[in-house]
């Protein structure tokens, strides 16, 4: 992850990965067919950890707003602790490298990403069914939530001083639940 974070997916070589790990390149080939398999297994392992923390938040029996806050907080905390994983995570959406590498990444990463969006869409659907949020396309709403929170994570990783995580959680949740229009606030005040 550190090599990919520094060099990008396409430029990370087995030699660089072996050097970072402090082992001979041949040693890595004892466990992985090629660099792409190593990257895939790394992505699977770390993505599973991310999903464990987010799934824990989703499985709670809380109202939608608390679930949403817990999910966003889990995501921000995860990437704060695993900054070097973020570039690899982004490759799920924007594969790097030559066309063959991009196709392989899409085959590996897109199903995981799609499953994550579908899981979030299920939570949105439940909130719609219980009357906690208005009806809309749950898949697109989940996509908006995941990608919007990813943009905030990217900013947090690249900026010198981030606001407290709770402030970004509030920003995301309040924007999703309340929107940004002043017209709604003015109408509800009347």
* CA gap 87, 93 in Å, rounded: 10
Please report the pLDDT score of residue 104 as a whole number. 67
Which DSSP category does 31 fall into? T
Residues 6+ apart with CB under 8 A from 41: 32
Higher pLDDT, 161 or 85: 161
Within 13 Å, how many C-alpha atoms sit on residue 177's CB side? 16
Domains defined for the chain, CATH in brackets: 34-189 (1.10.357.10)
Q: Work out the pLDDT band at 171, boundaries 50, 70, 90.
A: very high
**pLDDT exceeds 90 at position 172:** yes
**Each residue of 6-57: pLDDT tens digit?**
777 777 888 998 998 999 999 999 999 988 788 778 877 888 888 888 888 8
Rounded to the nearest 10 degrees, how much is the dihedral formed by the CA atoms of 40, 41, 46, 47? 50
Tokens 């520094």 correspond to: 6
More confident residue, 49 or 136: 136
What per-residue confidence (pLDDT) applies to 38?
84
Q: Cβ(22)–Cβ(106) under 8 Å?
A: no
For residue 170, what is the enclosing H or E element? Answer: helix 165-178
- For range 91-120, the mean pLDDT: 73
């Amino acid at each position: 992850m550190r090599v990919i974070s520094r060099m990008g997916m396409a430029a990370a070589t087995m030699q660089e990965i072996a050097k970072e790990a402090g082992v001979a390149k041949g040693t890595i080939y004892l466990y992985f067919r090629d660099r792409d398999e190593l990257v895939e297994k790394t992505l699977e392992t770390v993505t599973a950890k991310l999903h464990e923390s987010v799934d824990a938040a989703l499985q709670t029996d809380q109202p939608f707003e608390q679930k949403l806050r817990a999910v966003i907080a889990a995501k921000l905390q995860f990437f704060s602790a695993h900054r070097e994983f973020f570039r690899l995570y982004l490759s799920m959406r924007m594969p790097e490298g030559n066309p063959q590498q991009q196709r392989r990444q899409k085959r590996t990463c897109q199903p995981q990403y799609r499953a994550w969006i579908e899981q979030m869409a299920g939570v949105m659907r439940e909130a719609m069914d219980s009357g906690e949020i208005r009806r809309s396309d749950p898949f697109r709403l989940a996509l908006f939530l995941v990608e919007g929170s990813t943009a905030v994570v990217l900013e947090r990783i690249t900026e010198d001083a981030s606001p407290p995580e709770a402030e970004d959680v509030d920003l995301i949740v309040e924007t999703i639940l309340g929107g940004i229009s002043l017209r709604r606030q003015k109408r509800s005040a009347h």
